[in-house]
Amino acid sequence: MNAGETQRTPWIVGVSGASGTPYAAAVLRALLAAGESVDLVVSRASRLTLLDETGISFRDAHWADDLREWLARGADGKPDTFTVDVGAVRYWSAGDLAAGPSSGSYPTKGMIIVPASTASVAGVALGLSKDLLQRAASVTLKERRRLVVAVRETPLDGRTLRHLVTLDDAGVTVVPCSPAFYAGATHIQDLVDFVAGRVLDAAGVPHGLYRRWKGELGGGAER
Ligand SMILES: Cc1cc2nc3c(=O)[nH]c(=O)nc-3n(C[C@H](O)[C@H](O)[C@H](O)COP(=O)(O)O)c2cc1C
């Protein structure tokens, strides 16, 4: 880096193969709207959930076009609901274990896994590093950077609950993908945005995705 050049310090966003690709889209849109740069890792399994939930085939060779189409889609499935500039995104293939985020010397602000599958929760808790998503999470932990894990599964069995406690003990913020109903949701997007907003609260990134509790019952009805 030359003198005077500012260092790019992105958030890593890992999308794993749990249901809930609209949560990932809402988090990505909000990070970009907040002026953050993003390093994106899309697990192999999440290509199936993305295909199932949006009809989009995510291709490494055409990631920017596929990402733009995905982020433009509303949680109700309508295309071209949002306009998103993906210029601040750097994409890494999930199999690329030589990628930037696989090393602690690569500067990042931290990592968000959204949605997090129980498999990715297990892999991170056990330090498996079976792909770039899990390796980047292990690096984030060893470098004592912020890690937010938005887990999506129901019901949860003892193994996953134990893995989540391990993550909590390691300083991870575990955010279950469970929307609340006090914020006056009237559309699916509102419920998605509530979860995405709580994920960004945990990461410390400002956003206006949901109506915050103001201390008065019925405040959500003002929407
Ligand atoms: C349509 C679909 C929905 C899925 N939903 C979930 C889910 O909500 N939670 C979960 O933990 N796994 C879910 N899975 C299973 C994961 O994709 C699977 O465990 C996979 O190995 C996760 O790998 P990854 O963590 O590398 O992405 C789903 C799979 C498919 C095909």
- Residue 19 counted as domain residue: yes
Residue 2 domain-assigned (yes or no): no
Q: What is the pLDDT of residue 11?
A: 98
CATH number (domain holding residue 84): 3.40.50.1950
The mean pLDDT value of the chain amounts to 96
Please give the Cα distance from 164 to 173 (Å, whole number): 9
The alpha carbon of 153 and the centre of ligand 1 are apart by a number of angstroms equal to 9
123 CA to centre of ligand 1 in angstroms: 13
In a domain, 4, yes or no: no
- Examine the pLDDT at 26 and tell me if it is beyond 60: yes
Mean pLDDT over 46-70 rounds to 98
pLDDT 10s digits, 78-115: 999 999 999 999 999 999 999 999 999 999 999 999 99
Residue 120 lies in a domain: yes
pLDDT (mean) for 157-179: 98
The sheet that has 110-116: what strands, in order across it?
89-93, 38-42, 11-15, 110-116, 146-151, 173-174
43 C-beta closer than 6 A to ligand 1: yes
Residue 2 has pLDDT above 80, yes or no: no
Note whether residue 6 is domain-resident.
no
53 lines ligand 1 (CB under 6 A): no
Q: What pLDDT, on a 0 to 100 scale, did the predictor assign at position 6?
A: 84
Q: Is the pLDDT of residue 4 over 90?
A: no
Q: Which residue(s) pair with 92 in the sheet?
A: 41
The whole-model pTM stands at 0.97
In a domain, 112, yes or no: yes
The pick from 19, 131, 174 for probing ligand 1's pocket by mutation, whose C-beta has the most ligand atoms within 8 angstroms, reads 19
Q: Domain containing 61: what range?
A: 11-222
pLDDT, position 1: 66
CA angle 201, 172, 194 (to 5 degrees): 30
Number of domains in the chain: 1
Q: With respect to residue 1, please indicate whether it lies within any of the assigned structural domains.
A: no
Q: Which atom of ligand 1 is nearest to the CA of 46?
A: 27
16 lines ligand 1 (CB under 6 A): yes
5: in domain: no
* Ligand 1 neighbourhood includes 153 CB (under 6 angstroms): yes
